[in-house]
Structure 1
Amino acid sequence: MADKKGAPASQKALTKAEGEEIVQKFQQLRNEQRSLMAKITELEQDLNEHKIVIETLQDVSPDRKCFRMVGGVLVERTVTEVLPALVNNKEQLTKVIDSLNVKLVSKGKEVNEYRAKHNIKVRGQDDIKESQQTDTTTGTQGVLVSNKS
């Protein structure tokens, strides 16, 4: 398909509004990607906290009392009551993190496809790629190696 001047439709000049709309959609996709990554990071921190508490409680007497925050209220329980709930929460967190990682990969592909489709160049990112290419061609310059024995 070509326009009146014979140029292919894919190379047709965009109006300012169309260009802004494309950039806005791209920024929206990247913000969604960042949001997913932030949520994954937060949940991974919660998962690590659960692991630490579970490891700690496994070495403690099952009849010992402990406190747990439930819906903003601190409740007193025994280790026997709390430990299974923590293990269950840990498993649920793992499942949620896995599903969010799948969504993150999918969103990354969507961002890359959109970027390629509209030939979007990101400032700074292209400069980094060029500097990496020049660094690899100059040999081992800028590489720090540690020989720990």
Structure 2
Amino acid sequence: MAANGSNAASKATNNGGGKPSTPSTEQVVATFQRMRQEQRNMASKAAELEMESNEHSLVIDTLKDVDPSRKCFRLVGGVLVERTVKEVLPALQTNKEQLSKIIESLNTMMVEKGRELTEYRERYNIRLVGEGENDAQGQSTTASKDSEGGNPKSGAGVLVS
């Protein structure tokens, strides 16, 4: 019985003493901004790759109806290379498929990053500048729930522009 009591005491000590300190407001804002920037970068890259995929589609559609033995030129790493349509068309189709897979994975990563952002916003009660009155009312109910539950978070939250 004494062993169980000392076990519980050591667990309580570990939870209280080993608890990481809460990050400062500046650290919370910096982390939130970094996460938002990562999501924006992913969206930008996905849009860029989508445009490239559309260009591939245009070229593929154009070359489909052309004689396969006809010569065409392809830009590879900044060098213009002479090939035939039958050599270029399969390579373009493969590239387009790979672009589609990359775009799909980027979109999945953006959704995951969005979930992380939402969880982070809720965890640190982050409110963006320009959010409506309804959000401010939600903030006050969140703050009252936090103080009732004994949560150490302040009810004020963090305001991010």
Taking structure 2 as the reference length, what is the TM-score of the superposition?
0.68
Residue type of the alignment partner of 2:30: Q
Following superposition, the deviation at residue 129 of structure 1 comes to 7.0
Question: Aligned pairs, how many?
Answer: 115
1:26 paired residue among 19, 28, 32: 32
Partner of 2:43: 37
Determine whether 1:127 maps to 2:132: yes
In percent, how many aligned pairs have the same letter? 56
Relative distance call for 1:52 and 1:128 in structure 2 (3 A) is farther
1:74 paired residue among 66, 80, 94: 80
Distance in 1, matches of 2:100 and 2:78, equals 23
Distance in 1, matches of 2:72 and 2:107, equals 33
> Structure 1 regions of 5+ residues with no counterpart?
1-14, 131-149
Distance in 1, matches of 2:106 and 2:41, equals 11
Partner of 2:108: 102
Q: State the SS of the aligned residue for 2:27.
A: helix
Relative distance call for 1:127 and 1:71 in structure 2 (3 A) is same
Distance in 1, matches of 2:25 and 2:82, equals 59
Following superposition, the deviation at residue 127 of structure 1 comes to 2.9
Partner of 1:57: 63
Distance in 1, matches of 2:133 and 2:49, equals 30
Aligned CA RMSD, in angstroms, stands at 1.9
Q: State the SS of the aligned residue for 2:128.
A: coil
Query: Hey, which of these two has a bigger chunk of helix by percent?
Result: 2
* CA distances 1:50-94 after superposition (whole Å, capped 9, x unpaired): 001000000111111110001110000000000000000000000
Q: State the SS of the aligned residue for 2:44.
A: helix
Taking structure 1 as the reference length, what is the TM-score of the superposition?
0.73
Following superposition, the deviation at residue 128 of structure 1 comes to 9.0
- In the TM superposition, what are the counterparts of 1:128-147 in structure 2 within 5 Å? none
Relative distance call for 1:128 and 1:100 in structure 2 (3 A) is farther
> Structure 2 regions of 5+ residues with no counterpart?
1-21, 136-161
Highest CA radius of gyration, 1 or 2? 2
